[in-house]
Chains A and B, each alone.
Chain A
């Protein structure tokens, strides 16, 4: 059973471009979470999705950021018109049940650099 797969591992974008980060959860997991980690900082919650539904997006900036988890295919975190402050590591996690009931497994992250 493969773990949580994120791609790309590294992404470089110029200011103003779009960044698309992909996350394939573990097999059988229908809950997906996105976190952002700035250098030498903790994991900041962004958004929680179940298949085709956004459950909690309270940690995601209102502008330029969006997330989806379609019925088929990976979850996508999309950042439009990237700025230097978006440079960070973005981690995806998945779990088979809601977070209070079971552990969440993390991917290796996508490191976004905006130049």
Chain B
């Protein structure tokens, strides 16, 4: 089945810096890769996703890149702000069934 590894587990940056979170997956058939943001006491919220037919996708300060050959994908946040502080999860689908999540990255942005 699908196995998703996520690094780093914690990340501290200064406001305005960039943050990069990386994930690897095991199932070469996986074709959909979402990223979720979870704030304290809330459910995860989808912030961006990418499908295997593209290598990069951007949405304002957030971008995701995908390398299908190496089976890894990354989340890039530019010009970080304190409100970006949260736990971020990557995921990949287990064949024909549910999303399998990485263990999460706690991002802290200090002003």
Q: What residues of chain A have their CB less than 8 Å away from a CB belonging to chain B? A: 4, 33, 35, 41-45, 48, 55-56, 58, 91, 93, 98-101, 103-109
Contact = CB atoms under 8 A, between A and B. Distances in A.
A6 B40 CA distance: 17
Nearest to B102: A42
B43 A56 contact: no
Given A45-B100, A48-B98, A101-B32, A109 B49 contact: no
Given A100-B93, A106-B44, A107-B43, A43 B101 contact: yes
Contacts of A45: 94, 98-101
A103 B46 contact: yes
Among A55, A100, A105, the one with the most B-chain Cβ atoms within 10 Å of its Cβ is A100
Contact of B44 (A91, A99, A100, A101): A91
A48 B93 CA distance: 12
B103 A41 contact: yes
Nearest to A9: B41
